[in-house]
């Protein structure tokens, strides 16, 4: 057995090259060969045949004729019988023996051999006819015409046969080619199917219109969900029916959006056959419907459960680390503060004979330490996004412009602050004090990153529904490791005493609580850019109502119901209030307060803590109180607002803890005198949050 060579394997395809079809259009030409040693005879024949229009070729001898017949084709041969050398018989015999010419009709021309014996010999030598000389032109013409016609018909038949054969060949070739293509296609399909099967990915195509019925789902769906693909295709609602109820709206929204955006991507929990939820990541693109066909969504889906749980673990680990850092940091800072407080109190208690100036210095030190403690908790609250925000609609450009002098003072002369503010107003609904604090934190960081001076550029733009404030410096920049951690509380690269690690935590907390985003871009030696993205506001500008510390402290003699669960705070506040001249009744929780309200005893104002044990918050206490006594004045106070319960625009005014006598006094007077500014127009979210209490 011979082995096929690799080359022949490659070119084995059957008659791969298509052949040109045989020519059917060029008219068939007949040529007539006249063989005569006598030129006059030949000429006579030519003259006789000329008008037929065929090509006439003459040869002077049998040898010459045979030579010509080797290469050329003739319809008829007119052959003189009597020639010197090879005579007509001999020539005819040779013509007949050659395959090429065996069937070419020969007409003998003879003048001498007219007897029957010669004529018989002539026919046996292969003649089809014998014409006697001198030739009658009419007879020769008609004989040649008959033979040429026959030739032409035969040629035509041959041509047709060749064409038929060509058609058959061509058909066979195309069939073979098609079979080969089909085989290749089947192989490709089988290969693709194998790949699809082995990949942990589900391919889908589905309708672009709700309920987005799947038209195709690859079999691999069974490996992930435990259900066969047919289930999804046969029951259009099956896929969505097992999406986690909490995720369903989001998924529908994402997939519906594809009709507009051309693509979608979402992740959701899906209830698998084993009763467990798995996280599926689903992405798709819209295929344009061609030729009036409806548009379709092609998608891929994969199991993202493992990735999710890893991400969760990582987030948990990070949270633990952050909590560790936080507690460590808070403890460290508070210990320092408490050292100052306790040390000085101890001295005040023991050294009773110290002079007044010294004692005042100690009290000042205690106050300062306590104030730093208060600032610290504010920053912590800012990070945990539980601070009480007082958002108003402000023009960020105006705020930055007004605040720039303070920033310039903070960064010093070596650093230039370059304002690149957009021309239009950039209104945002934010707490202006917090925004200023954030800007200050960013500016101070920029200064620290530029020990030899440089430029801080503050650039503002409006981007559709949002405004962007960028603070960029030309400083040392950050490594990716530092950049990833800058928002963590107490994360600092600065030496002890220089950095608290809380600046960017405040920025982050404030922006997130304001429903915005903060982005950072930085590389070592390339400077740093912080981008604060805040939702734009269309509400009219409001004047900033800052709680400035009043100079004159005014009290009153109205009746106040004070509710506070912390006994020391209660005692202190009671001191403050009675010191201001008010008549105070106290309660340590909502139930006690309500009991008092039911006694019917008159009061002018309810002053209550928000967060209290016993399940009833200050907010709901205030609401019940208002129901019992419409028109009752209410002031809430809180160290922080419960998670999600940002009562920024709530129905009751609020005083932040810790508060000082002056602030409390002013707030009470304004309320009691009916001067407290009207409640801000609540945003729906804030109302929801407050109502959820």
Q: Which stretch binds ligand ADP (CB under 6 A): 198-206, 245-253, 309-317, 486-494?
A: 486-494
| Residue from 387, 445, 474, 638 in contact with Mg ion (CB under 5 A) | 445
Q: Tell whether residue 486 is a contact of ligand ADP (CB under 6 A).
A: yes
Q: Tell whether residue 470 is a contact of ligand ADP (CB under 6 A).
A: no
Backbone angles phi, psi at 237, to 5 degrees: -95, 0
**DSSP letter (8 states) at residue 243:** B
Tokens at 537, concatenated: 């506001």
Taking each helix axis from N to C end, the angle separating 503-513 and 432-449, rounded to the nearest 10 degrees, works out to 140
3-class secondary-structure state, position 334: helix
Q: 51: how many CB neighbours lie within 10 A of its CB? A: 9
Burial class of 354 by CB neighbour count within 10 A (0 to 12, 13 to 18, 19+) = middle
Of the two residues 434 and 637, which places its CB atom closer to Mg ion in the complex? 434
CA 251 to chain centre: 15
Q: Could you say which of Mg ion, ligand ADP, none residue 632 binds, taking C-beta under 5 to 8 angstroms by partner kind? A: none
Per-position x/- string for 120-139, each x denoting binding to Mg ion as judged by CB under 5 A, each - no binding? --------------------
Q: How far is the CB of 599 from Mg ion (least distance, A)?
A: 53
Burial class of 109 by CB neighbour count within 10 A (0 to 12, 13 to 18, 19+) = buried
According to DSSP, the residues that pair with 301 across neighbouring strands are 202, 282
Backbone angles phi, psi at 338, to 5 degrees: -65, -30
The per-residue DSSP string of 81-101 comes to S--SSS-HHHHHHHHHHSTTT
Tokens at 564, concatenated: 């506070």
**DSSP letter (8 states) at residue 629:** S
| Residue from 454, 475, 516, 639 in contact with ligand ADP (CB under 6 A) | 475
Asked if residues 348 and 362 have their Cβ atoms less than 8 Å apart, the reply is yes
Asked if residues 689 and 646 have their Cβ atoms less than 8 Å apart, the reply is yes
| Residue from 296, 303, 395, 473 in contact with ligand ADP (CB under 6 A) | 473
Per-position x/- string for 383-422, each x denoting binding to ligand ADP as judged by CB under 6 A, each - no binding? ----------------------------------------
Q: Which stretch binds ligand ADP (CB under 6 A): 276-284, 371-379, 475-483, 577-585?
A: 475-483
Of the two residues 438 and 621, which places its CB atom closer to Mg ion in the complex? 438
Q: Tell whether residue 489 is a contact of Mg ion (CB under 5 A).
A: no
Of the two residues 165 and 493, which places its CB atom closer to ligand ADP in the complex? 493
| Residue 658: cis peptide before it, omega within 30 degrees of 0 | yes
Q: Tell whether residue 491 is a contact of ligand ADP (CB under 6 A).
A: yes
Q: How far is the CB of 528 from ligand ADP (least distance, A)?
A: 4
Tokens at 254, concatenated: 């994402």
Q: Tell whether residue 62 is a contact of ligand ADP (CB under 6 A).
A: no
Tokens at 684, concatenated: 């729906």
Q: Could you say which of ligand ADP, Mg ion, none residue 491 binds, taking C-beta under 5 to 8 angstroms by partner kind? A: ligand ADP
Burial class of 343 by CB neighbour count within 10 A (0 to 12, 13 to 18, 19+) = middle
Q: How far is the CB of 601 from Mg ion (least distance, A)?
A: 52
Separation of alpha carbons 211 and 231, rounded Å? 15
Separation of alpha carbons 355 and 357, rounded Å? 6
Q: Could you say which of ligand ADP, Mg ion, none residue 454 binds, taking C-beta under 5 to 8 angstroms by partner kind? A: none
Separation of alpha carbons 125 and 97, rounded Å? 11
Separation of alpha carbons 570 and 549, rounded Å? 22
Q: Could you say which of Mg ion, ligand ADP, none residue 482 binds, taking C-beta under 5 to 8 angstroms by partner kind? A: ligand ADP
Q: Which stretch binds Mg ion (CB under 5 A): 23-31, 48-56, 156-164, 441-449?
A: 441-449
Task: Find, among 624, 673, 613, 685, the residue nearest to 649 by Cα.
Answer: 685
For residue 217, CA distances in Å to 116, 239, 273, 300 come to 95, 11, 17, 10
Q: Could you say which of Mg ion, ligand ADP, none residue 140 binds, taking C-beta under 5 to 8 angstroms by partner kind? A: none
Q: How far is the CB of 490 from ligand ADP (least distance, A)?
A: 8
> Which ranges in 533-589 belong to alpha helices (H)?
567-579
Q: How far is the CB of 376 from ligand ADP (least distance, A)?
A: 12
| Residue from 67, 494, 519, 688 in contact with ligand ADP (CB under 6 A) | 494
Q: How far is the CB of 476 from ligand ADP (least distance, A)?
A: 6
Residue with tokens 């205690």: 366
Q: Tell whether residue 528 is a contact of ligand ADP (CB under 6 A).
A: yes
Go through 270-296 and write b for each residue having 16 or more CB atoms within 10 A of its CB, e for each that does not. bebeeeeebbbbbbbebeeeeeeeeeb
Of the two residues 440 and 690, which places its CB atom closer to ligand ADP in the complex? 440
Q: Could you say which of Mg ion, ligand ADP, none residue 500 binds, taking C-beta under 5 to 8 angstroms by partner kind? A: ligand ADP
State the residue number with the nearest CB to Mg ion. Answer: 503
Of the two residues 507 and 665, which places its CB atom closer to ligand ADP in the complex? 507
Q: Could you say which of Mg ion, ligand ADP, none residue 492 binds, taking C-beta under 5 to 8 angstroms by partner kind? A: ligand ADP
Q: Residue 644: left if φ>0, alpha if ψ -120 to 50, beta else—which one?
A: left
Of the two residues 369 and 502, which places its CB atom closer to ligand ADP in the complex? 502
Between residue 172 and residue 201, which ones bind ligand ADP under the rule CB under 6 A?
A: none
Q: Which stretch binds ligand ADP (CB under 6 A): 26-34, 183-191, 271-279, 502-510?
A: 502-510
* Residue count, binding to Mg ion (CB under 5 A): 2
Per-position x/- string for 440-459, each x denoting binding to ligand ADP as judged by CB under 6 A, each - no binding? -x---xx--x----------
Q: Which stretch binds ligand ADP (CB under 6 A): 18-26, 79-87, 144-152, 493-501?
A: 493-501
Of the two residues 223 and 517, which places its CB atom closer to ligand ADP in the complex? 517
Q: Which stretch binds Mg ion (CB under 5 A): 63-71, 259-267, 335-343, 445-453?
A: 445-453
Q: Tell whether residue 503 is a contact of Mg ion (CB under 5 A).
A: yes
**DSSP letter (8 states) at residue 133:** S
Of the two residues 450 and 587, which places its CB atom closer to ligand ADP in the complex? 450
| Residue 188: cis peptide before it, omega within 30 degrees of 0 | no
Number of H helices, E strands in the chain: 21, 22
Provide the binding-site residues for Mg ion, judged by CB under 5 A: 445, 503
Provide the binding-site residues for ligand ADP, judged by CB under 6 A: 441, 445-446, 449, 473, 475-478, 482, 486, 491-494, 499-505, 528
């Amino acid at each position: 057995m011979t082995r096929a060579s690799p080359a022949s394997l490659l070119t084995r395809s059957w008659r791969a090259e298509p052949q040109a079809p045989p020519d059917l259009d060029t008219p068939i030409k007949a040529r007539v060969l006249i063989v005569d040693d006598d030129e006059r005879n030949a000429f006579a024949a030519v003259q006789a045949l000329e008008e037929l229009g065929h090509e006439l070729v003459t040869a002077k001898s049998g040898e010459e004729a045979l030579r010509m017949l080797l290469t050329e084709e003739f319809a008829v041969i007119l052959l003189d019988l009597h020639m010197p050398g090879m005579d007509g018989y001999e020539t005819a015999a040779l013509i007949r023996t050659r395959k090429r010419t065996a069937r070419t009709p020969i007409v003998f021309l003879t003048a001498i051999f007219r007897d029957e014996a010669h004529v018989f010999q002539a026919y046996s030598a292969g003649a089809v006819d014998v014409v006697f000389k001198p030739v009658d032109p009419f007879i020769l013409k008609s004989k040649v015409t008959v033979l040429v016609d026959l030739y032409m018909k035969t040629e035509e038949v041959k041509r047709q046969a060749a064409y038929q054969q060509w058609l058959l060949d061509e058909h066979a070739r195309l069939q073979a080619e098609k079979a080969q293509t089909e085989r290749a296609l089947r192989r490709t399909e089988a290969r693709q199917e194998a790949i699809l099967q082995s990949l942990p990915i589900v391919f889908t195509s589905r309708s672009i219109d709700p309920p987005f019925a799947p038209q195709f789902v690859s079999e691999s769906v069974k490996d992930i969900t435990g259900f066969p693909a047919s289930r999804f295709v046969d029951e259009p609602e099956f896929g969505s029916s097992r999406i986690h109820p909490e995720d369903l709206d989001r998924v529908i929204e994402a997939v519906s959006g594809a009709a507009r955006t051309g693509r979608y991507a979402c992740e959701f929990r899906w209830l698998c056959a084993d009763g467990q939820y798995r996280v599926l990541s689903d992405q798709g693109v819209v295929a344009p419907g061609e030729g009036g066909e409806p548009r379709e969504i092609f998608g891929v889906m994969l199991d993202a459960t493992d990735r999710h749980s890893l991400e969760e673990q990582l987030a948990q680990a990070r949270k633990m680390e952050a909590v560790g850092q936080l507690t460590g940091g808070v403890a460290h800072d508070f210990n320092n503060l408490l050292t100052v407080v306790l040390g000085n109190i101890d001295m005040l208690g023991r050294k009773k004979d110290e002079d007044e100036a010294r004692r005042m210095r100690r009290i000042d030190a205690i106050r300062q330490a306590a104030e730093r403690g208060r600032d610290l908790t504010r920053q912590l609250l800012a990070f945990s996004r539980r601070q009480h925000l007082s958002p108003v609609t402000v023009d960020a450009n105006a705020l930055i412009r007004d605040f720039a002098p303070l920033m310039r003072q903070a960064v010093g002369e070596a650093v230039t602050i370059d304002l690149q503010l957009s021309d239009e107003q950039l209104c945002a609904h934010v707490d202006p004090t917090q925004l200023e604090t954030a800007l200050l934190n960013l500016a101070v960081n920029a200064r620290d990153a530029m020990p030899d001076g440089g430029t801080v550029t503050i650039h503002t733009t409006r981007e559709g529904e949002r405004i962007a404030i960028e603070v960029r410096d030309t400083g040392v920049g950050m490594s990716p490791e530092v950049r990833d951690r800058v928002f963590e509380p107490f994360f600092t690269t600065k030496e002890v005493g220089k950095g608290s690690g809380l600046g960017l935590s405040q920025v982050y907390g404030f922006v997130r609580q304001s429903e915005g985003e903060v982005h950072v871009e930085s590389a070592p030696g390339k400077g740093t850019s912080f981008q604060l993205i805040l939702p734009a506001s269309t509400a009219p500008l409001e004047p900033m109502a800052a709680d400035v510390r009043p100079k004159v402290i005014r009290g009153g003699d109205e009746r106040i119901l004070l509710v506070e669960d912390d006994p020391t705070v209660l005692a202190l506040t009671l001191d403050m209030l009675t010191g201001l001249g008010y008549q105070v009744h106290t309660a340590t929780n909502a139930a006690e307060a309500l009991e008092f309200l039911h006694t019917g005893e008159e009061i002018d104002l309810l002053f209550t803590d928000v967060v209290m044990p016993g399940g009833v918050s200050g907010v709901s206490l205030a609401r019940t109180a208002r129901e019992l006594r419409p028109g009752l004045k209410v002031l809430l106070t809180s160290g922080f607002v419960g998670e999600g319960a940002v009562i920024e625009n709530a129905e009751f005014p609020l005083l932040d803890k810790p508060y000082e006598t002056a602030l409390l006094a002013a707030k009470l007077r304004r309320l009691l005198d009916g001067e407290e500014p009207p409640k801000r127009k609540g945003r729906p979210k804030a109302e929801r949050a407050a109502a959820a209490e």
